[in-house]
Amino acid sequence: MSIRKRLTLILLSMMVLTCFLALVKGYQKSMHHGENLLDDELKIVAGVLIEQPLAITTSAVQVSNNSAQLLYQIWQGTTLLSGSMSLTNNQTSFNEGFQTANIAGQRMRVFVLNKHARKVIVAEPMAKRFELAEAVILSAMLPMLWAVPLLAIFISFFVKYALAPLTRLSKQLALRQANDFTPINWQVTDEEIKPVINRLNDLFKRVETAYLRERFFASDAAHELRTPLSSLKINVHNLANKQNVLQNNEELQAMSQGINRLSNIVEQMLILGRTQPEQWQKQFSEQSLLAITQQAVSEQYDKIDAKNQTICLEGDDFIINGDEFTLTTLISNLLSNAIKYTPDNGQIIIKLASSSTGFSWQIDDSGSGMTEEQKERVFNRFYRVGGDQHPSGEQGAGLGMAIVQHIIAIYDAKIKLKDSPLGGLRVNVTFTGAQCD
């Protein structure tokens, strides 16, 4: 729920609760005040009746209790001069003053007045008092009930107005690119928003510094290493070709393998530095995934043949709006991993297929596969399944899958690692913007 809705509901609930409590208190006061007024009315009626010039010979009047709003009796001694016969047959059953009694099946408020040897009994139904209280409450509540929707609209409007700076800030942050670390240039007067903007600007500055340091360090270091590695590689080659050095010298072979491995790490680091989304999306063009896959297979076919592996390419071609270098790197890295970790005489299947969510490029191998923990960590830089002790014996830098993840981000694609029916690993890459060819 949004802050606006939450504040509106809280404020409206508080106002409704306050109004309810005020109505309860008003009801109590209205009842008390109304009872005092009606008691005074009974006193006045009794005072008027007791002064009436009635003779003892006057006959009593029978009044229906069901329709009467006021019952009375005027007694002279033990003789009923006037009034309702059903009120009481014994005037001594009521004491002077106010009291409440059940009369003829009704709850009534009774007032008794003694004066001039006369006794007047005046009774009024309690229902009349409750009806009066209900009328007062309804007259007070109805305007409030009509006002609640208007209050909700006004509260929602003013809450929206009060939260407008926060909404504006949220929209600005939502429209920012991932690599946009420029300060928020927005002058505000709200004391609650000022520290937020200041903290965000400080955070942007620190993140930009860390981002640039991390981004350029690997590529700068790789560039600096390239020249001495090339020189070292040439010197080792020249040394191995000298007549006084045997070709099967194990130390030179180990040195040469180490230099080749380090050179591979440097190249991978350079590629990793180049695979940034903002650098490639501006130069996209239509690319054939089938053609790029075929090219990658042909370039690495010597490795496949050396391990006597079988490879199968299935499916129809589809066109993607992308860059040839990044797509080639993506497919080559995934294919290289499959070749590395598939044993001799193993099987690799590449399939291009359409699905409900887009078009997918999928590769299965018959290697040893991965555990769930390894699948979660394989995209981390410099992480290798099994380290240098992997059963395949293959050497690597641990950067291939990190590069794959960078390229996946460039194309806003999705990659999933699953267990393959062949016994190894299945890697599925789904592109949402592809077209059938």
- Which has the closest alpha carbon to 410: 220, 175, 179, 204? 179
Alpha helices (runs of H) in 177-288, residue ranges in sequence order: 194-241, 250-274, 277-280
Per DSSP, the residues of 373-418 read HHHHHTTSTT--TTGGG-TT-----S-HHHHHHHHHHHTT-EEEEE
Q: How far apart are CA 130 and CA 360, in angstroms?
A: 77
For the stretch 228-283, pLDDT in tens is 777 777 777 777 676 455 455 666 666 776 777 667 666 666 665 655 555 566 67
Looking at residue 57, what is its pLDDT?
52
Looking at residue 347, what is its pLDDT?
93
Looking at residue 351, what is its pLDDT?
93
The first and second tokens of residue 37, run together, are: 């007024």
Alpha helices (runs of H) in 51-113, residue ranges in sequence order: none
Residue that is written with structure tokens 């009291």 in the block: 99
Q: Are 421 and 367 in contact (CB under 8 A)?
A: no
The one-letter amino acid code at 157 reads F
- Which has the closest alpha carbon to 365: 384, 350, 387? 350
Q: How far apart are CA 300 and CA 348, in angstroms?
A: 13
Domains 194-271 and 280-436 are alike in CATH topology: no
Counting other chains too, the contacts that 196-202 makes at CB distance below 8 Å and 24 or more residues apart are 196/169, 197/169, 200/173
The first and second tokens of residue 394, run together, are: 């293959």
Looking at residue 310, what is its pLDDT?
92
Q: For the whole model, what pTM was predicted?
A: 0.48
Q: How far apart are CA 309 and CA 290, in angstroms?
A: 20
Q: Which residues of the chain have pLDDT under 70?
A: 1, 55-68, 85-86, 91-92, 178-179, 212-227, 240, 242-254, 257, 261-262, 264-282, 357, 382-398, 433-437
Looking at residue 247, what is its pLDDT?
53
φ/ψ of 271, rounded to 5, equals -65, -40
Looking at residue 154, what is its pLDDT?
82
Looking at residue 204, what is its pLDDT?
84
CATH dotted code for 280-436:
3.30.565.10
CATH dotted code for 194-271:
1.10.287.130
What are the domain boundaries of the chain?
3-151, 194-271, 280-436
